Amino acid sequence: MRKNILAGNWKMNCDLSQTQGLITDLKTGLVKDFNCELMIAPSHPFLYNAFNSTSDTLIEVVAQNVCEAQNGAYTGEISVDMLDSIGIKTVIIGHSERRDTYGETNELLAAKTKTALGKGMRVIFCCGEHLEQRKAGNYFETVTGQIEKGLFDLTAKQMEQVVVAYEPVWAIGTGETASPEQAQEMHAHLRSFLETKFGKETANNTSILYGGSVKPSNASEIFAKPDVDGGLVGGASLDAQSFLDIANAF
């Protein structure tokens, strides 16, 4: 069975005291069970602290990135062993900011994914088209191309540990959201595409999250779509109340 997931991507925001403050606010607001798994992705320096501070809650702390190599001369990088040693079990791979600002290619992202899965971690694999590709009408090919190059070397068993996040780049941090219909159209397309490689059962069991300016006011109608299994949220996850209000939308 696929799961509803709400993941907050804090990006390069929040120093130590702000990270602790946001976690305290989230914990204060966790007064009921939500119909979704809750994840937060603080910056790397604060993962251990965040992991410890949330260990008495159902919030999972996840990483925003990981190195494709196991260890060695990779200055500035963070390995799966390091993440695993502080309790991190899930990593976001292929966010559009990693692809566009840091030049991460589909090939590199495929390698990162295999390394993370090899360590027994779960991967949130991001994909999404730019505005030009949407306007030119080749957004399906763009996104399925990212999925094919990033994930199609995996086995169906490995794919069980992958969550897909569809994030149209034109909707990230812009305030512009894909309509629920646009999200559903792409998610259904992605699910059928996954089926061609991994089979119906795996495709049906894969959680596909939507990301791009999700907020409390639009979350319910997006999450109501049958192939949308949750959200990857940036800006609105930096406010505990909005994040919890979005979680309430399931």
Q: Which residue is nearest to ligand PEP (CB)?
A: 234
54 contact partners, CB below 8 Å, separation of at least 6: 23, 27, 40, 60, 61
Question: 205, 209, 185: which is closest to 195 by C-alpha?
Answer: 205
Cβ closest to ligand PEP, residue 118 vs residue 173: 173
The single residue of 60, 68, 97, 167 carrying the catalytic annotation is 167
Rounded to a whole number of angstroms, the minimum distance from the CB of residue 50 to ligand PEP is 18
Residue 208 φ then ψ, to 5°: -120, 115
Cβ closest to ligand PEP, residue 40 vs residue 172: 172
Is-catalytic flag, 167?
A: yes
The single residue of 95, 104, 129, 187 carrying the catalytic annotation is 95
Binding site for ligand PEP (CB under 6 A): 9, 167, 172-173, 211-214, 232-236
Rounded to a whole number of angstroms, the minimum distance from the CB of residue 230 to ligand PEP is 12
Residue 195 CA to its chain's centroid (Å): 20
Rounded to a whole number of angstroms, the minimum distance from the CB of residue 155 to ligand PEP is 27
Token pair 């993941």 is found at 7
Contact 63, 88 (CB under 8 A): yes
